[in-house]
Chains A and B, each alone.
Chain A
Amino acid sequence: MQPRNNPRLMTTSAQNTITCRNLWQVFGEKAEQRLADALSRSNDPNDVSQSLLSHNLIPAVRNVSFDVKQGELFVIMGLSGSGKSTLIRCLSRLVEVTSGQISIEGEDILAASKKRMTELRRSTLGMVFQHFGLFPHMSVIDNVAFPLKVSGLSKRERHKHVLPIIHMVGLEGRKHAFPRELSGGQRQRVGIARSLAGDCSVWFLDEPFSALDPLIRRQLQDEFLEVRRKFNKTIIFITHDITEALKLADRIAIMRDGEIVQIGTPAEIVLSPVNAYVREFSKDVATGRHATVASVMQKGVQGDLESAPRVQSTMSIDAALAMSSAHLAPLAVEDDTGQLIGTVSPKDLADAALRDAS
Chain B
Amino acid sequence: MGRLFQELKTDFKLTILWSIAGLGLLVLLLETSAPWLVNWPDSFQLPLTSWVGDALGAGLETVKPLARAFSGLMSYPMRWTNMLFVSAPWSLTLGIVTALAWYVGGWRLALLSLVGLGFVLGSGYWIKGMNTLALVSVSVPLALLLGLAFGILAHKVQPIKSALQAVLDIMQTIPTFAYLTPLLLLFGFGPVVGLIASAIYATPPMARNVILGLERVDPEIKDAAIMSGATAFQRLFFVELPAAKSQIMVGVNQCLMASLSMVIIAAVIGGFDDIGWEVLLTMRKAQFGQSLLAGLVIVVFAILIDRISAALSQERNEHNWRIAFFIAAAGILVSLIGLGPLSNPEDLHLFEPVAAAVDARLGVFTAENGASLDAVKNSIVFYAMLPLRIGLDGAVLVFTWGFQWTTAHSVWFFAIALVLALGLVSRGAFKAAALLIIVSIVLETGISELPWIFVLSLSAGLGWSAGGRALALLIVALLLSILIAGLWERALLSLYLSGISVFTCAVLGSAIGLLCVVSPMAWKIVRPLCDMLQTIPLFVFLIPVLMFFQIGEFSAFIAICAYAIVPMIRYTQHGLSNTPPELLEAAVMSGASDWQIMRDLRIPYAVPTLLLGLNQTILYAFAMLVIAALIGTTGLGQSIYLALGKADVGLGVSAGAAMAILALIADRIVQGFAQERKKALGL
Of all chain A residues, which has the CB nearest B601? A135
Indicate if the CB atoms of A150 and B591 lie closer than 8 Å.
yes
Using known A-B contacts A137-B605, A178-B682, determine if residue A118 contacts B593 with beta carbons closer than 8 Å: yes
Question: In A104-162, which residues have CB < 8 Å from any B CB?
Answer: 118-123, 125-127, 129-137, 146-147, 149-151
Query: Which segment, of B212-220, B441-449, B578-586, faces chain A?
Result: B578-586
Interface of B is mostly: helix
Of A123, A125, A146, which is within 8 A of B592 by CB?
A146
| B interface residues, tally (CB under 8 Å) | 20
Of all chain A residues, which has the CB nearest B596? A150
Chain B residues, Cβ within 8 Å of A78: none
In the complex, per-residue mask of B586-600: 1 if CB is within 8 Å of any chain A CB, else 0: 111111110010001
Indicate if the CB atoms of A94 and B593 lie closer than 8 Å.
no
In the complex, per-residue mask of B265-278: 1 if CB is within 8 Å of any chain A CB, else 0: 00000000000000
Of all chain B residues, which has the CB nearest A124? B591
Chain A residues, Cβ within 8 Å of B585: 89, 94, 127, 129, 133
Indicate if the CB atoms of A137 and B590 lie closer than 8 Å.
no
Indicate if the CB atoms of A136 and B683 lie closer than 8 Å.
yes
Of all chain B residues, which has the CB nearest A126? B589
Say if the beta carbon of B680 comes within 8 Å of chain A. Answer: yes
Chain B residues, Cβ within 8 Å of A130: 582
Indicate if the CB atoms of B591 and A129 lie closer than 8 Å.
no
Say if the beta carbon of A84 comes within 8 Å of chain B. Answer: no
Indicate if the CB atoms of A92 and B593 lie closer than 8 Å.
no
Indicate if the CB atoms of A151 and B591 lie closer than 8 Å.
yes
Query: Size class of A's contact patch?
Result: 20 to 34
Indicate if the CB atoms of B588 and A94 lie closer than 8 Å.
yes
Chain B residues, Cβ within 8 Å of A258: none
Of all chain B residues, which has the CB nearest A206? B585
Using known A-B contacts A136-B605, A137-B604, A137-B605, determine if residue A150 contacts B590 with beta carbons closer than 8 Å: yes
Chain A residues, Cβ within 8 Å of B589: 92, 94, 121, 125-127, 195, 204
Say if the beta carbon of B681 comes within 8 Å of chain A. Answer: yes
Of B586, B591, B681, B683, which is within 8 A of A133 by CB?
B586
Chain B residues, Cβ within 8 Å of A119: 591
Using known A-B contacts A150-B600, A178-B682, A179-B682, determine if residue A135 contacts B586 with beta carbons closer than 8 Å: yes
Indicate if the CB atoms of B582 and A131 lie closer than 8 Å.
yes
Of all chain A residues, which has the CB nearest B591? A122
Indicate if the CB atoms of A121 and B588 lie closer than 8 Å.
yes
Say if the beta carbon of A83 comes within 8 Å of chain B. Answer: no
Of all chain A residues, which has the CB nearest B683? A136
Chain A residues, Cβ within 8 Å of B601: 135
How far, in angstroms, from A94 to B597 measured CA to CA in the complex? Answer: 14
Distance in Å from the Cβ of A121 to the closest Cβ of chain B? 4
How far, in angstroms, from A179 to B601 measured CA to CA in the complex? Answer: 15
Chain A residues, Cβ within 8 Å of B587: 135, 146, 150
Of all chain B residues, which has the CB nearest A197? B590
Distance in Å from the Cβ of B582 to the closest Cβ of chain A? 4
Of all chain B residues, which has the CB nearest A93? B588
Indicate if the CB atoms of A118 and B591 lie closer than 8 Å.
yes
How far, in angstroms, from A134 to B589 measured CA to CA in the complex? Answer: 12
Distance in Å from the Cβ of B38 to the closest Cβ of chain A? 41
How far, in angstroms, from A149 to B600 measured CA to CA in the complex? Answer: 10
Chain B residues, Cβ within 8 Å of A129: 582, 585-586
Distance in Å from the Cβ of B233 to the closest Cβ of chain A? 41
Residue from the set A146, A151, A179 with the largest chain B CB neighbour count within 10 Å? A146
Indicate if the CB atoms of B682 and A127 lie closer than 8 Å.
no
